[in-house]
Amino acid sequence: MFHDLFRDYSGPCFGIRSVDGWFWCSSQNQRPQCTFVIHSSAAWHALVNDPTDRTLGEAFINQDLDVEGDLFAAFPPVRHLYQRAGSAGQAILRSLWRSSSDLAQWFRYGRQHSIKRDRTSISYHYDLPVDFYRAWLGPTLAYSSAYFRDPSECLECAQTNKLELICRKLALAPHERFLDIGCGWGSLLLHASSRYQADTYGITLSQEQAAVTASRISHARLEDRCSVEFRDYRTIPDLPTRFNKIASVGMFEHVGLKNLREYFNVVWRILSPDGLFLNHGIARSPTTAPSKDSFINKYVFPNGELVTLAEVLGVAESAGFEVRDVDNLRIHYEQTLRLWVENLQKNSQSVLKTISERTYRIWLLYMAGSAYAFQQGNIELYQVLLARPGKTVPNFTMRENWYQGWTTAASKAAVW
């Protein structure tokens, strides 16, 4: 059976082993880079009869299925199965499951991308203990793609590079009012305040992130020009001030297509006439169909939604923005995720003191699978620099200023 399923397979060598000792290998001349270990009939069913990222993911997190060896090598054979397994009947069943799941979410949390439901989704993903995140993110606590000026750079340096690049693209200057929408654990706020002397303000929908960020600000003694608040981006226009520079890093994926116009309209209203806005977010390839019936939607990012770059730019321009620059950091995010997976596996013993085995497996699979998706180009990462043209002369955008004169100090990891 497996010889037939994988007759035209050309990816890395892999094996399949059941607990009774049966073993099959995709090549007779190579050692498998990974081996799928089947522990139950549920795993066999997922592998042979209904291979989707959700069914196989559930088998993995429930420990019905294990992967020995290189976890990243498991994704090419799984993708091969996806491409061979589609049927009209399965499509109908998945559609029914998706509809019932969406209806249950609506009754429990409200309509999709409402403030209440977004707050619940963000809390689900981000309100885990910070020690869990620190074990694999490292001391910067930057949970978005790093920027590798050299492929061999350490994660900490590459994350600091990313923070520096964002500030440079925004031409951030001392005493400018800077807003970070979805500020995470405050890394960009701290960098902008300490390195650029900007007056920074961050918002997040995670109570845990807000508390950790406030603690880091206090530890760095930056309370005079750095602050954080638990707030939804849709309430920012209630503030009495406008901002010279705004960034949104890794938050955009939670906005949703139907709220895209409101998102850019909100930023437009609070950005000063000569201001700049940098939107750093994941987009799906236009050749990749959107999917709600997925492992990530159910277990990692409930209510998350990826749009295409064309949709992003179209809505941003219709809101009045001028597109100054578009930068694709896809290969940087693949490298970042690979290092996160390496850190998570290396620190598994300490991580499992703060979270369950099931949660650990969810995050391990989600990040390894995301790295593969970036490698394949199914998803992309774009930094889009936007301007709000006004009566004053807009800031010049010169790429050489972003990359030249990068001092050693700027590329060293910061400690807050």
Strand partners, 68: 35
Domain of 330: which CATH number?
A: 3.40.50.150
In a domain, 97, yes or no: no
**How far, in Å, CA of 337 to CA of 161, rounded?**
16
12 is in which domain, residue-wise? 2-85
The answer to whether residue 82 scores a pLDDT higher than 90 is: no
Which comes out higher in pLDDT, residue 127 or 205?
Answer: 205
pLDDT band at 133 (very low <50, low <70, confident <90, very high): very high
In a domain, 98, yes or no: no
pLDDT band at 162 (very low <50, low <70, confident <90, very high): very high
3-state DSSP helix/strand/coil percent for the chain, to nearest 5? Answer: 50, 15, 35
- Shared-domain flag, residues 80 and 155: no
In a domain, 164, yes or no: yes
pLDDT at 111: 52
**How far, in Å, CA of 366 to CA of 360, rounded?**
10
In a domain, 224, yes or no: yes
**How far, in Å, CA of 317 to CA of 303, rounded?**
25
pLDDT band at 107 (very low <50, low <70, confident <90, very high): very low
**Mean pLDDT of all residues in 105-130:** 55
* Torsion angle in degrees (nearest 10) through CA of 383, 388, 393, 398: 10
- Shared-domain flag, residues 195 and 69: no
Sheet strand arrangement including 23-25: 23-25, 14-18, 34-38, 65-69
pLDDT at 163: 97
The answer to whether residue 119 scores a pLDDT higher than 60 is: no
pLDDT band at 296 (very low <50, low <70, confident <90, very high): confident
Strand partners, 183: none
Tokens of 10: 């050309």
pLDDT at 398: 79
- Shared-domain flag, residues 303 and 157: yes
The answer to whether residue 202 scores a pLDDT higher than 70 is: yes
Which comes out higher in pLDDT, residue 213 or 91?
Answer: 213
Residue whose tokens read 């997976």: 341
In a domain, 195, yes or no: yes
The answer to whether residue 397 scores a pLDDT higher than 80 is: no
pTM over 0.85: yes
- Shared-domain flag, residues 71 and 173: no
Work out the angle between the directed axes of helices 88-109 and 115-126 (0-180°, nearest 10). Answer: 100
The answer to whether residue 105 scores a pLDDT higher than 90 is: no
Tokens of 243: 């901002």
